[in-house]
Amino acid sequence: MAEIRCISPVDGEVFAARQAMPRAEAQERIRRSRIAGKSWAARPLAERCALVMKAIHQLATHQDEAAEEVTMMMGRPKAQFFEFNGCIERATYMAGIAETALAPIVAEDSDSFERRIEREPVGIVFIVAPWNYPYLTTINSLVPALIAGNSVIMKHAAQTLLAGERIVNAFEEAGFPEDVLQNVFFDHATTSDLIGEGHFGFVNFTGSVGGGQAMERAAAGTFTGVGTELGGKDPAYVMEDANLEAAVSALMDGAFFNAGQCCCGIERIYVHERLYDRFVEMALAEVKKLKLGNPLEEGTTIGPMANVRFASEVRDQIREAIADGARALVPEGYFAVDDGGAYLGPQILVDVTHDMRVMRDESFGPVVGIMKVSSDEEAIGLMNDSEFGLTASLWTEDADRAARIGRQIETGTVFMNRCDYLDPAVCWTGCKNTGRGTTLSVLGYQSLTRPKSFHLKKAL
């Protein structure tokens, strides 16, 4: 079988490797998962919640080891590893609403009839997790899937090969039942075949548009539910009444944190003409404060991109934009560590247009384009001029205006005066080529369960 390798962007060396599972072992894992899931679903909801929360807190005790692993696997500065805090926050919220989210809908409870709708688990939930936030993105589906009574099989990206093992180990340490949660190493062919054979009750995928299309093709005709969070090109609109200092600080962080490799990172900014010049000046000053370097070293604020291939795509977008008339504000060579490989210095582009790929295609790297606008209508048109729709960030002191504009934007989430954040109380969803599906919030339980109706006529 093929070997799955994680090449560290920190030093270009193989950091971890695992053998892809043979088909027979994969099918045996599925068999065991199905059996374990039945007994798990039979446990009381409160017991499932308690065990899941115990396991999540156990995972958090491995903060230091996990932080260094993630840094070596995908390049995020070790000092910026905060995923376990987010895991606890999201898990706590989802456990807290479980009783309400999974409660029966009672139509009648009389001497003559009981009529109600209950939620029951879908069976095995298959989570295909991305590399940019290998723990947080997993938790979004893992926690509600387990609490709802499903068994779960996880497959992590090659770039963060060890994350799934660490999650399973923590759950085992917390006394979690065997085989209810499993981590696997499948190649693409095995993954597609197993989905196509209808083994899973639900597939949750976070990744590229092409990857999401492959998941849907594999599931076609099986009636397996598929939830996807795919590409993004998230916009921000800074209105003339915005708090300029707050907008610059938050949006530059939203554009460049994790080397721009955030699902809801800011990739394009539209600034009202009254604030445009000052915004650009302040944004450049903010970016020049960043320190590109070895992500294991103290003081580094931006590390390498996760893969040389990803950095090459961003460089291509920047070069093409400059050739077409864009101006790069960060001088060449300003970030001396930029090596033409995985280490890529952050860049701001102005004089950009939507004819340029850097304003259309997902960059998923440390570059942002800034455009001047003169009205809300112009900004709305530009924000909607995208094949993607995950989040949009609006900066204004007028909440009514933000809500009015937000209703006209084709996106899954609208932020006002913040960006690049997931609130577990509201659903995480997208539209257009960002995919379809819902995680977190009360709605996050719906795709992980199915309704069952009871119409009981009592004896006369």
Joined together, the tokens standing for residue 232 give: 């993004």
Instruction: Tell me which residue of 347, 304, 438 sits closest to 7, measured CA to CA.
Output: 304
Beta strands in 176-252 (DSSP E): 181-184, 202-206, 225-229, 234-238
Asked if 413 and 391 count as a contact pair (C-beta separation under 8 A), the reply is: yes
Beta strands in 340-436 (DSSP E): 347-350, 367-373, 388-389, 391-395, 413-416, 431-432
Asked if 104 and 434 count as a contact pair (C-beta separation under 8 A), the reply is: no
Q: What are phi and psi of 292, to 5 degrees?
A: -85, 130
Q: Which residues are catalytic, by number?
A: 229, 263
**373 CB contacts (<8 Å, ≥6 apart)?**
237, 270, 271, 272, 273, 379, 382
Asked if 165 and 173 count as a contact pair (C-beta separation under 8 A), the reply is: no
**22 CB contacts (<8 Å, ≥6 apart)?**
1
Q: Element (H or E) spanning 152, and its range?
A: strand 151-156
Determine the Cα angle at 25 with ends 21 and 31, to 5°: 130
At 208 the three-state DSSP class reads: coil
Please spell the DSSP secondary structure of 273-284, one letter per residue.
TTTHHHHHHHHH
Instruction: Tell me which residue of 72, 33, 326, 311 sits closest to 153, measured CA to CA.
Output: 33
Q: Which residue, chain included where needed, has tokens 């069952």?
A: 452
Strands 234-238 and 367-373: unpaired
